[in-house]
Structure 1
Amino acid sequence: MFNVLIADDHAVVRQGLSYLINKQPNFRVTDEEANGTDTYLRVEKGSIDILVMDLSMPPGESGLVTTQRIHDKFPNVRILILSMHEEPEYINKAIHNGAMSYVLKSSPDNELIRALMSLALKKDYIDSNIKITKSDIKQIESDGTDVSLTGYNGLSKREREVFPLMALGYSNKEIAQRLYISTKTVEAHKASIMHKLALDSRPELVRYAVHHHLIEF
């Protein structure tokens, strides 16, 4: 059972999240907080596995600062940012500061559920509705890993067509419509791509793509 802490300054949001999360097997909301300071203090008490946190919780410190403080002091706590901020600078900074996942409040519930399932497996998760933009390049490149292109060269023609759309954050439906294939076929291609490149998450895929200049904007 994963103990979840919810941090958001709106009570109605906390209640809604608690209801949704408690319906998922192996997840239990054990506490709620309304600002960054109290969130840190609650994590300090222990027994929290996953933190679902907003970035804007006035008055108090920025959620970005809270994220970094918690990650630096309690690296085993898996942080999921749930925010209205879609701007790349917020997303990049949150991930840089230690968040394992970033989900938009405007996205459907299944994005949050997928993020929780990924965190349970100690894997990163970026909302599928988030697109990578030019302003991301510099920061992502600085965190790029030197990965061989052997795996990429082994991708099929169709997989190479799916690859850039996947890296840029297009949904399965959007990719299917662009390439005139079914969503199930897209899912199969995505799984094959990740396997051939030996990557575990979309952030790793994006770093791979940017580091090797495999996507253009």
Structure 2
Amino acid sequence: MYNVLVADDHAIVRSGISYLVDLQSNFTVVDGTASGTDTYIRVEQGGIDVLIMDLSMPPGENGLITTRRIHDKFPKVRIIILSMHEEQEYINKAMANGAMAYILKSSPDTEIIKALQHVINGEKYLDANIIVSKKDIKEINASGNTLNLKGYNSLSKREKEVFPLIALGYSNKEISEKMFISTKTVEAHKANISRKLHLHSRVDLVQYAIHHHLIDF
């Protein structure tokens, strides 16, 4: 039995996907999340074999970043992107960042089932309605991606989790309650983020986050 995590900011979508997945004999949905940060934290807790995730879960971390972070730290978790974005740029970046499958929300339920069957066999899968050129395949298989994350990648795991919350305007108290850490620890993370990224105000931090597509509104 494969344990599945469903991540989407709409509860009704999570319920629908969960119902569909639970109908499959060898899959069971064990949890659901509504943001990139919460998704990473849940994967970190363990027990997840397959992640079905939306790319846009505002307000919060950009799904492409969440995909990269989870793939880098938990490569055994098979990531299936279920998104409204049909643009080739999104598809290429998602696959380059570690997703094993990309499904369009406009497609039939059968596409999700096909994706599940492929990823558990270690195979990549693209929605049948997606047309991929040779150039696209080359970009997907490229070792890097187009996001400029040199400075961002120097942040620790916790700093990356705190980063989008700061950019979105959460207070130290709100972040501490959400992350189950003290306000002093939040302040320390904020100081480290500012130092490592050479940012001197929240405005600078927000501009950095937007410029590098690290958050969605």
Question: Which TM-score applies when normalising by structure 2?
Answer: 0.63
Q: 1:148-178 deviations in whole A, cap 9, x for unaligned?
A: xxxxxxxxxxxxxxxxxxxxxxxxxxxxxxx
Q: 2: distance between equivalents of 1:113 and 1:32?
A: 18
Which 5+ residue runs of structure 2 have no aligned equivalent? 144-217
Q: How does 1:27-46 map to 2 (within 5 A)?
A: 27-46=27-46
1:15 paired residue number: 15
**In the alignment, is residue 62 of structure 1 matched against residue 62 of structure 2?**
yes
After the TM superposition, list the runs of 4 or more consecutive aligned residues in structure 1 that deviate by more than 3 angstroms.
140-143
Tell me which moved more, 66-75 or 128-137: 128-137
What's the CA shift for 1:134? 8.1
Contact 1:4 1:50 in 2 (8 A): yes
Q: 2: distance between equivalents of 1:138 and 1:119?
A: 20
Q: How does 1:1-217 map to 2 (within 5 A)?
A: 1-133=1-133, 136=136, 139-140=139-140, 142=142
Q: 1: distance between equivalents of 2:46 and 2:96?
A: 24
Question: Which TM-score applies when normalising by structure 1?
Answer: 0.63
The size of the alignment, in residue pairs, is 143
Q: 1: distance between equivalents of 2:142 and 2:123?
A: 21
Match for 2:91: what amino acid? I
Contact 1:78 1:119 in 2 (8 A): yes
Q: 2: distance between equivalents of 1:125 and 1:2?
A: 18
Three-state SS of the structure 2 residue aligned to 1:3 is: strand
Which 5+ residue runs of structure 1 have no aligned equivalent? 144-217
Q: 1: distance between equivalents of 2:140 and 2:43?
A: 29
Pair 67,106 (structure 1): closer, same or farther in 2 beyond 3 Å: same
Match for 1:70: what amino acid? I
Q: 2: distance between equivalents of 1:67 and 1:8?
A: 13
Match for 1:100: what amino acid? M
Match for 1:125: what amino acid? Y
Three-state SS of the structure 2 residue aligned to 1:31 is: strand
Q: 1:23-79 deviations in whole A, cap 9, x for unaligned?
A: 001100000000000000000000000000000000111000000000000000000
Q: 2: distance between equivalents of 1:141 and 1:80?
A: 17
**RMSD over aligned Cα atoms:** 1.6
Structure scoring higher RCO (CA < 8 A, sep ≥ 6) equals: 2
Q: 2: distance between equivalents of 1:99 and 1:137?
A: 14
Q: 2: distance between equivalents of 1:71 and 1:113?
A: 21
Match for 1:94: what amino acid? A
Contact 2:14 2:32 in 1 (8 A): yes
Contact 2:95 2:140 in 1 (8 A): no
Q: 1: distance between equivalents of 2:56 and 2:15?
A: 17
Three-state SS of the structure 1 residue aligned to 2:6 is: strand
Q: 2: distance between equivalents of 1:11 and 1:82?
A: 14
Match for 1:88: what amino acid? Q
What's the CA shift for 1:136? 2.7
2:193 paired residue number: none
Identical-pair percentage: 65
